[in-house]
């Protein structure tokens, strides 16, 4: 085989993998290598293609000059001569066009599909109608809204103190029975992300399923999710630790840029996860997610907010959603029915006072409970305190000015935001006269409750911060 070389390396390594090295500019050698790799069934194959940057350019190949700038007319002419390319710009040779032209094959496939689907419609009219509506058109079940609201109401009435990652799993369990098109996965952290439910079945080479064990490949997982979403027919979710969205950042950004539905589930959301240390404790990641255009981010504080967040993610079919959940257990908040409805607006008044507040405490996720505890002490000290839970700043920002003013009135300038993430994000909500109890450094390695106290997520520190205002 011209240009084909099998590299044994050493005997022990050669027994576990099949390595082929080829000239990356030799299409025949590459094709031969692929054929060779397909013939090996007892071990993985790796094809190494050696290439030269700017190949074909006589004067610029092998240099950075051909990477980010045009070659120029003279060098283009020289390159054409070197490659023996005699065709004019944008002229496709007939033999090349013929090999790529798939119109006839596509038309045949379309006819075959239409015939088969017509036969299926005649035999199973109800199933065919449901398939067309759900898979082809991407519509949710007619009763999804009703069943999702019933689950939210159940969480509200039967509140329990659980980690929001567990509340997320409960939501997946509830919605999985309603949405057979849900396709889940995790980057080797299914047991920690809690994204498996009773109906989960791992996808294998010889069997269908609805859950992908992606392995330790956060970027690969997120890129594959983009492909699945572009294919259509599925409601796609994938999970990892929130810190590891760093590895997946570009694929997440591309999802937002393309405007496709993906549900990115990120657990272990703060220094509250504890012992894994600062390498695993996200600080600036929430800000990045919230400021990514066309990406909606939710950080719920308990099971009820988690259920609302999941419902919103499923219904958000034109853009991706990031759902942020805690490792540690969180207390359930007390709400009335109106407050439950207002969760879907991204932020709402969780606890209020008579008259105009002296101070507004706003928080998300695990810090909402701290805001409530602090408000109780401040109220005992004679202050009028409002507590605002803000599970989704993106959704809140999209509300009417009247609603936003009703939650965060402009005349109340003494505001304190509480969140175990970077402080700078909150400037637009607390203003110049407010303050933030948050993070300005990386975390440390210690139990979560120890770290939260060490970094000032305590009632005493919140009260001191309010009093300084």
pLDDT attached to residue 9 = 45
139-189 pLDDT, tens digit per residue, is 999 899 999 999 999 999 998 999 999 999 999 999 999 999 999 999 999
Per 3-state DSSP, what percentage of the chain is helix, strand, and coil (rounded to 5)?
45, 15, 35
Q: Which residues are catalytic?
A: 218
**Side-chain half-sphere CA neighbours of 316 within 13 A:** 29
211-241 pLDDT, tens digit per residue, is 999 999 999 999 999 999 999 999 999 999 9
Pairing between β-strand 162-163 and β-strand 435-439 as defined by DSSP bridges: unpaired
Mean pLDDT of the chain: 94
pLDDT attached to residue 15 = 63
Query: What tokens does 217 get?
Result: 């490949």
* Alpha carbon 224 to its chain's center: 12
Q: How far apart are CA 84 and CA 90, in angstroms?
A: 16
Pairing between β-strand 385-389 and β-strand 415-422 as defined by DSSP bridges: unpaired
Residue 324 has pLDDT above 60, yes or no: yes
Question: CB-based burial of residue 289 (10 Å sphere; 0-12 exposed, 13-18 middle, 19+ buried)?
Answer: buried
pLDDT attached to residue 188 = 94
SS3 344: helix
Residue 467 confidence class, pLDDT cut points 50, 70, 90: very high
Residue 204 falls in which region: left (phi positive, over 0), alpha (psi -120 to 50) or beta: beta
Q: How far apart are CA 203 and CA 47, in angstroms?
A: 26
pLDDT attached to residue 67 = 86
> 213: which strand partners?
186
177-209 pLDDT, tens digit per residue, is 999 999 999 999 999 999 999 999 999 877 789
Question: If we measure between CA atoms, which residue out of 261, 340, 347, 267 comes closest to residue 307?
Answer: 340
Indicate the pTM of the whole model: 0.87
CA end-to-end span of the chain: 78
255-275 pLDDT, tens digit per residue, is 999 999 999 999 999 999 988
DSSP code string of 203-272: -BTTB--SEEE--S-HHHHHHHHHHHHHH-S-EEEEEEEGGGHHHHHHHHHHHHHHT---EEEEES-SGG
Query: What tokens does 83 get?
Result: 């490659």
């Amino acid at each position: 085989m011209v240009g084909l070389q099998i590299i044994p390396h050493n005997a022990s390594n050669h027994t576990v993998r099949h390595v082929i090295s080829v000239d990356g500019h030799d299409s025949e050698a590459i094709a031969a290598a692929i054929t060779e790799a397909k013939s090996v069934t007892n071990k993985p194959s790796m094809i190494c293609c050696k290439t030269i940057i700017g190949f074909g350019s006589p004067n610029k190949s092998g240099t950075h000059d051909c990477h980010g700038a045009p070659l120029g007319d003279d060098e283009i002419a020289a390159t054409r001569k070197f490659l023996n390319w005699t065709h004019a710009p944008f002229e496709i040779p007939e033999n090349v066009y013929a090999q790529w032209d798939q119109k006839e094959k596509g038309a045949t496939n379309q006819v075959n599909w239409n015939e088969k689907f017509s036969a299926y419609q005649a035999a199973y009219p109800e199933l065919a109608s449901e398939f067309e509506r759900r898979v082809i058109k991407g519509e949710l079940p007619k009763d999804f809204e009703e069943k999702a609201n019933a689950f939210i109401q159940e969480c509200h009435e039967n509140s329990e103190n659980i980690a929001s990652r567990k509340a997320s799993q409960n939501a997946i369990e509830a919605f999985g029975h309603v949405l057979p098109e849900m396709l889940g996965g995790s980057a080797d952290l299914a047991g920690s992300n809690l994204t498996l439910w009773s109906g989960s079945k791992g996808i294998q080479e010889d069997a269908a399923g609805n859950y992908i064990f992606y392995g330790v490949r956060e970027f690969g997982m997120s890129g594959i999710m983009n492909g699945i979403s572009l294919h259509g027919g599925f409601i796609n979710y994938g999970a990892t630790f929130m810190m590891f969205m760093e590895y997946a950042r570009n694929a997440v950004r591309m999802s937002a840029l393309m405007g496709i539905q993906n549900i990115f589930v990120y657990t272990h959301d703060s220094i509250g996860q504890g012992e894994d240390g600062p390498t695993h404790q996200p600080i600036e990641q929430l800000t990045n997610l919230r400021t990514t255009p066309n990406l909606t981010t939710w950080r719920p504080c308990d099971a009820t907010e988690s259920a609302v967040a999941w419902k919103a993610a499923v219904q958000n079919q034109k853009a991706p959603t990031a759902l942020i959940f805690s490792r540690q257990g969180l207390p359930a908040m007390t709400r009335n029915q109106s407050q439950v409805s207002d969760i879907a607006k991204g932020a709402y008044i969780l606890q209020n006072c008579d008259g105009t507040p002296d101070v507004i405490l706003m928080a998300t996720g695990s810090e909402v409970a701290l805001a409530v505890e602090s408000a109780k002490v401040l109220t005992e000290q004679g202050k009028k305190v409002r507590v605002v839970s803000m599970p989704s700043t993106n959704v809140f920002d999209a509300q009417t000015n009247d609603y936003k003013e009703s939650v965060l009135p402009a005349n109340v300038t003494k505001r304190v935001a509480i969140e175990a993430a970077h402080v700078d994000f909150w400037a637009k909500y607390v203003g110049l006269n407010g303050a933030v109890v948050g993070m300005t450094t990386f975390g440390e390695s210690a139990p979560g409750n120890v770290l939260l106290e060490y970094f000032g997520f305590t009632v005493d520190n919140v009260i001191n911060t309010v009093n300084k205002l």
